[in-house]
């Protein structure tokens, strides 16, 4: 059992408790004697933390410059004391000292062990003995490159058998984390598969780790076979299907119906069940193709008023709690509860509408064909596009057809943007891979994105419930964010605490907050509107904000915004890559590649689900193209007038 030692501890210069630690460090440094002989390992490690505190650049306000410089000079002499102590550590002292280190100082011990090259005096045999201690956490050792190199053979042997190894490999190669681990050179990637499999076969594997393994992308540094991924997936599915599992789950349901009702759209909630219903009479009376496509915008709300897809994942929709507890793999598409529930709703909407239309002799793929081969020529005089609707009766074949036609229309659009026309012979000769990210727009100044850390921080202070600016003594916890508070209350700067006022002053310097002569703080609504739209959607649609062009121009000139001209916005490109392939995201659905390469599920229910997802993607593609051609047409009409 490790000793209790309530000593000074340095965490970071931004730690909230650093003033308390600096007070304690002051008391220690005042009485510090660089010539004293110290035998207690924790006193030594506490001095190391005192040194860090006094050299980190943060100081107590009560210290004069002379006092601060005096403390810093004395702190420099701590290094000699540390050196004398750690250079004496050898085989006879190493394990004893380690056992006596207080828990909060273990990382400091290994940092100094490496800095003073103690591995030169501690033999491999003694280190082997140390590794037999049950309390030895390997991840602490693997954070130190020189220690790992020095004890290559010993650590490799331990990693081959330790129960900690799988978690370490997951953290290093599969999980999105700031942890930095070094593996011993003798520990080969070819050994990882057996270690992962051993973990999968263990009695109580963590489902989060199983999820990371089966969604991981195989790399040279960490090869993961399809068989291993399948085994992890099966174990993961088994965990969630086993009654009595040690997990807390929340279940909710989404229902969609097309029924006899007067209202076009009705919504109700019963507990955790959400129900949407749509007027059967209205939908039957409006089976023309233009209305069918418009229904995805105005009735099913798969797009907003700027024609941004509402199916995408947006950072502001992922709560702080979700971010804190989610275990995200490297190259994961970042999803939260909002995205998951919205994806479920849109899929149920599409499925219900697809089967409704089918019952009324309307095939969605024929609607798509009409858009490319009839609507575009007749409405915009744009010719050359083609889309072949599938005549297959099974969903597998329909999926294969739609992914092929999807590629085709995107390549046709790319050619039209590049050449101003579609040359069919040239189109048939071009065979390069389609990259969604490279799809350029016909529109100019189409999308704006945040381009600085300052604008990100500005939005955080204004709109996040984690900024702490929505709380003042007068209203207490009534409001979650600063924007809510200032919209609903008349506030003076004196209503805020000192630490809040520093942030308010920064927002005033940015121009989003205005302070009048009476010290009342209000919002600069023009700038706030732009920032809130950007915060909510991760992208601005410039052409839909012409009344705020001066604000946008200023923000672009200052480097806060960057403008791009692409068919899809960044959130839409990320969503499409998540659905269609795994080039960007290891947890992607990979629908395009699965059906293009014949690796799709042979289960009809899964094929039907995939087909519904692909229909959603086609609606997204068509709506974005239609926006482009409408914009070009409006410009031509304006020039004619």
Q: What is the pLDDT of residues 463-490, one digit of tens each?
A: 999 999 999 999 998 999 999 999 999 9
Core vs surface per residue 331-369: b (16+ CB within 10 A) or e: bbbbbbeebeebbebbbbbbbbbbebbeeeebebbebbb
- Distant-in-sequence contacts of 235-244, Cβ < 8 A, 24+ apart: 235/200, 235/205, 235/210, 236/207, 236/210, 236/211, 239/205, 239/207, 239/210, 240/207
Q: Which of 258, 285, 312 is the last residue of a domain?
A: 285
Phi/psi of residue 179, each to 5°?
-65, 140
**What proportions of the chain, in percent to the nearest 5, are helix, strand and coil?**
55, 5, 35
**499 in the same domain as 409:** no
488: how many CB neighbours lie within 10 A of its CB?
11
Q: Is residue 218 part of a domain?
A: no
**402 in the same domain as 328:** yes
pLDDT of residue 17: 82
CA dihedral 55, 57, 59, 63 (to 10 degrees): 80
Phi/psi of residue 471, each to 5°?
-105, 125
Tell me what the pLDDT averaged over the chain comes to.
92
Confidence band for 342, pLDDT divided at 50, 70 and 90: very high
Q: Is residue 630 part of a domain?
A: yes
pLDDT beyond 90 at 589: yes
229: how many CB neighbours lie within 10 A of its CB?
17
CA dihedral 296, 300, 306, 307 (to 10 degrees): -30
Q: How far is CA 75 from CA 32, 87, 635, in A?
A: 9, 19, 70
**392 in the same domain as 312:** yes
**418 in the same domain as 311:** yes
Across 454-531, where does the E strand assignment appear? 491-492, 513-515, 520-523
Q: How far is CA 627 from CA 376, 403, 546, in A?
A: 12, 22, 16
Residue 388 φ/ψ region, left for φ over 0, alpha for ψ in the -120 to 50 degree band, beta for the rest: beta
**301 in the same domain as 391:** yes
Q: What is the pLDDT of residues 84-99, one digit of tens each?
A: 999 999 999 999 999 9
Q: Is residue 408 part of a domain?
A: yes
Looking at the chain, the whole-number percentage of residues with pLDDT higher than 70 is 97
Domains in the chain, number: 3
pLDDT of residue 154: 96
Residue 426 tokens read as 């040239």
pLDDT beyond 50 at 576: yes
pLDDT of residue 433: 75
Mean pLDDT (whole number) for 421-437: 85
Mean pLDDT (whole number) for 606-610: 96
Q: Is residue 52 part of a domain?
A: no
**300 in the same domain as 379:** yes
Q: Which of 604 and 433 is assigned the larger pLDDT? A: 604
pLDDT beyond 50 at 310: yes
Among candidate residues 389, 299, 305, 396, the one with its CA nearest the CA of residue 353: 299
Q: Is residue 451 part of a domain?
A: yes
Q: Which of 230, 264, 285 is the last residue of a domain?
A: 285
Residue 220 tokens read as 């040279």
pLDDT of residue 592: 94
Q: Residue 271: is it exposed, middle or buried by C-beta count within 10 angstroms (0-12/13-18/19+)? A: exposed
**462 in the same domain as 324:** no
C-alpha span between 419 and 442 (Å, rounded): 11
pLDDT beyond 70 at 252: no
Phi/psi of residue 151, each to 5°?
-115, 45
pLDDT beyond 90 at 321: no
Task: Collapse the DSSP code of 447 into the 3-class scheme (helix H, G, I; strand E, B; otherwise coil) and give the result.
Answer: strand
**613 in the same domain as 625:** yes
3-state SS string for 324-373: HHCCCECCCCCCCHHHHHHHHHHHHHHHHHHHHHHHCCCCHHHHHHHHHH
pLDDT of residue 325: 63
Q: Which of 533, 564, 595 is the last residue of a domain?
A: 564
Measured CA angle at 90 (ends 88, 91), to 5 deg: 155
C-alpha span between 194 and 206 (Å, rounded): 17
C-alpha span between 508 and 43 (Å, rounded): 47
Residue 200 tokens read as 């999968």
**416 in the same domain as 457:** no
Least reliable range by pLDDT among 141-155, 310-324, 496-510: 310-324
Confidence band for 274, pLDDT divided at 50, 70 and 90: confident
pLDDT of residue 641: 44
CB 455 within 8 A of CB 555: yes
- How long a stretch of residues is the chain? 641
Q: Is residue 405 part of a domain?
A: yes
Mean pLDDT (whole number) for 436-460: 94
Q: What is the pLDDT of residues 149-177, one digit of tens each?
A: 999 999 999 999 999 999 999 999 998 88
- The predicted model scores a pTM of 0.82
**424 in the same domain as 296:** yes
Mean pLDDT (whole number) for 416-438: 87
Confidence band for 326, pLDDT divided at 50, 70 and 90: low
- Sign of the CA dihedral with 481 first, then 487, 489, and 495 last: positive
pLDDT of residue 246: 52
CB 536 within 8 A of CB 316: yes
**Residue 497: which domain range?**
447-564
CB 3 within 8 A of CB 42: yes
Q: What is the pLDDT of residues 194-248, one digit of tens each?
A: 999 999 999 889 998 999 999 998 999 999 999 999 999 999 999 888 765 555 5
Q: Is residue 155 part of a domain?
A: no
pLDDT of residue 29: 94
């Amino acid at each position: 059992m490790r000793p209790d030692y309530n000593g000074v501890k340095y965490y970071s210069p931004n730690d909230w408790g650093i003033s308390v630690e600096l007070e304690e460090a002051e008391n220690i440094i005042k009485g510090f004697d660089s010539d004293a002989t110290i035998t207690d390992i924790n006193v030594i490690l506490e001095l190391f933390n005192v040194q860090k505190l006094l050299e980190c650049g943060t100081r107590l306000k009560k210290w004069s410059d002379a006092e601060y410089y005096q403390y810093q000079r004395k702190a420099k002499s701590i290094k000699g004391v540390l050196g004398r102590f750690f250079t004496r550590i050898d085989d006879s002292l190493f394990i004893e000292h380690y056992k006596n280190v207080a828990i909060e100082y273990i990382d400091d011990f290994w940092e100094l062990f490496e800095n003073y090259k103690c591995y030169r005096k501690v033999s491999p045999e003694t280190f082997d003995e140390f590794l037999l201690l049950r309390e030895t956490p390997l991840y602490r050792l693997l954070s130190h490159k020189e220690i790992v190199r020095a004890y290559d053979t010993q650590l490799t042997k331990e990693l081959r058998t330790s129960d900690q190894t799988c978690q370490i490999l997951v953290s290093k190669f599969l999980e999105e984390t700031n942890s930095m681990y070094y593996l011993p050179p003798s520990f080969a990637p070819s050994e990882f598969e057996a270690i992962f499999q051993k973990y999968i076969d263990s009695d109580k594997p963590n489902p989060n780790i199983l999820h990371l393994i089966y969604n991981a992308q195989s790399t040279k540094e960490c090869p993961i076979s399809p068989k291993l991924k399948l085994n992890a997936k099966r174990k993961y599915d088994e965990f969630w299907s086993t009654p009595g599992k040690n997990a807390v789950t929340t279940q909710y349901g989404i229902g969609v119906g097309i029924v006899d009702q007067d209202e076009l759209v009705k919504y109700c909630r019963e507990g955790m069940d959400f129900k949407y219903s749509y007027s059967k009479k209205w939908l039957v009376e409006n089976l023309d193709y233009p209305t069918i496509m418009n229904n995805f915008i105005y009735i099913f709300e798969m797009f907003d008023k700027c024609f941004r897809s509402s199916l995408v994942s947006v950072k502001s929709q992922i709560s702080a709690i979700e971010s804190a507890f989610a275990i995200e793999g490297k190259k994961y598409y970042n999803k939260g509860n909002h995205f998951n529930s919205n994806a479920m709703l849109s899929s149920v909407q599409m499925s219900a509408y697809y089967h409704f239309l089918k019952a009324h002799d309307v095939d969605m793929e024929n609607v798509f064909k009409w858009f490319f081969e009839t609507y575009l020529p007749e409405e915009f005089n744009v010719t050359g596009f083609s889309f072949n609707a599938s005549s297959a009766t099974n969903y597998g074949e329909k999926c294969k057809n739609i992914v092929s036609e999807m590629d085709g229309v995107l390549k046709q659009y790319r050619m039209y943007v590049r050449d101003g026309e579609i040359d069919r012979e040239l189109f048939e000769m071009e065979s390069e891979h389609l990259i969604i990210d490279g799809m350029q727009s016909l529109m100019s100044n189409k999308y704006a994105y945040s381009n600085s850390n300052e604008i990100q921080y500005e939005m955080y202070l204004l709109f996040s419930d984690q900024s702490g600016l929505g709380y003042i003594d007068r209203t207490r916890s009534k409001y979650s964010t600063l924007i809510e508070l200032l919209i609903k209350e008349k506030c003076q700067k004196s209503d805020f605490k000192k630490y809040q006022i520093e942030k308010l002053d920064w927002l005033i310097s940015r121009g989003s907050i205005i302070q009048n002569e009476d010290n009342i703080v209000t919002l600069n609504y023009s700038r706030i509107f732009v920032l809130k739209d950007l915060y909510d959607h991760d992208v601005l649609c410039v052409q839909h904000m012409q009344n705020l062009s001066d604000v946008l121009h200023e923000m672009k000139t200052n480097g806060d915004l960057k403008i791009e001209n692409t068919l899809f916005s960044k959130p839409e490109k990320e969503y499409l890559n998540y659905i269609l392939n795994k080039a960007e995201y290891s947890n992607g659905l990979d629908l395009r590649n699965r059906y293009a390469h014949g690796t799709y599920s042979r289960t009809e229910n899964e094929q039907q689900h995939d087909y519904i997802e692909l229909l959603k993607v086609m609606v997204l593609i068509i709506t974005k193209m239609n926006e482009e051609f409408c914009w070009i047409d409006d410009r031509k009409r304006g020039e004619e007038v």
